[in-house]
Amino acid sequence: MSRLTFKGFKAAGIALVISGSMAACTVFPVPEAPRVMDFPTPPKLNSSSASRSESLRIDTPMASDPYNSSRILAKPQPWEYRIYGGVRWRDTIPVLVRDMLAGAFRASASFQHVVMDPAPGSADLSLSTEINAFHAINQGDSTRVTVSVYGQLVNNRSQGILCSRSFTVSTPAEDKSIDAVVLAFGNAGEQLADELIAWATSCDKSPD
C-alpha cells in the first residue's frame, strides 16, 4: 500500500492525482483494479435460539465519503485516509454491508422473512444503519480492521424507533498483506452480524 502522487504524463497519456483528502482528478479513464474482493456472509452462523414472527427489511446503510465507495481503505492517522492500490471491493461499502447482513439474518432464522431494499413488498420492521468506520489501522508492526455502525430497528407501520445502538468491532489481521486485511474484514463482519442479530431479536423485550 502506498500513497499515490502525481507522476507526470507518461507515453500512455495517463495522469492521476489523489490528495490526502481522497479527491481524484484525471482526464482519462482510471484503469480497473486487477483484483476485486468480496465482503462475505459469515459462514459460521447457526440458527438463532430466539426467533421473531415479524418480517425484516435490511436497508442499504447510509455512508459519506470515503466510505460510500468501493475503495479498500486504511487510516494511518485520525485525519488521513489511504487506499490499497490495485484492488477494490466488488461494490460500494454500503451495498457490501447490506448484503452481508441480509445473508447473516437469513442464516440465523431470527426473523420470519428477511428482504433487502429495494426489493418489492412490505415488511413489519426495518433495520437502518449508518457506517461510521470501515477501514484498516496500522499500529506499528500490526494491522487491525475497524468496522463501526449505528443501527436503528424501526416499526414500519408506526415509523417508531424500537431500539437504537452503536456497534464497533475491531479485529486483528495476521499481517499487512491485502489478503490478510480482507480476511480480517470478514472476521469483523461475522462479529458485527452476531451482535446485531442478538440485539435486534431482543430489542423490544428488554430495556435498550
User: 43 and 16, same structural domain?
Assistant: no
Average pLDDT over every residue of 143-147:
97
Are 88 and 66 contacting, i.e. CB atoms less than 8 angstroms apart? no
**Does some domain include residue 208?**
no
Name the range with the highest mean pLDDT among 69-73, 108-112, 120-124, 201-205: 69-73
In whole angstroms, give the CA distance from residue 158 to residue 142: 47
User: 82 and 24, same structural domain?
Assistant: no
**Does some domain include residue 207?**
no
How many structural domains are present in the chain?
2
Q: What is the pLDDT of residues 8-56, one digit of tens each?
A: 333 333 222 233 333 333 344 556 668 999 987 776 666 656 788 999 9
Query: 30 or 88, which is more confident?
Result: 88
pLDDT at 32: 67
Q: Taking all residues of the chain, what is their mean pLDDT, rounded to a whole number?
A: 83
CATH code, domain carrying 170: 3.40.50.10610
User: 95 and 20, same structural domain?
Assistant: no
User: 131 and 111, same structural domain?
Assistant: yes
Query: 15 or 62, which is more confident?
Result: 62
Residue 106 has pLDDT above 60, yes or no: yes
Are 122 and 156 contacting, i.e. CB atoms less than 8 angstroms apart? yes
* CA angle centred on 166, ends 188 and 148, rounded to 5°: 35
Question: Structure pTM?
Answer: 0.80
pLDDT at 207: 41
Average pLDDT over every residue of 104-115:
92
User: 98 and 82, same structural domain?
Assistant: yes
* Domain containing residue 179: 33-202
User: 172 and 102, same structural domain?
Assistant: yes
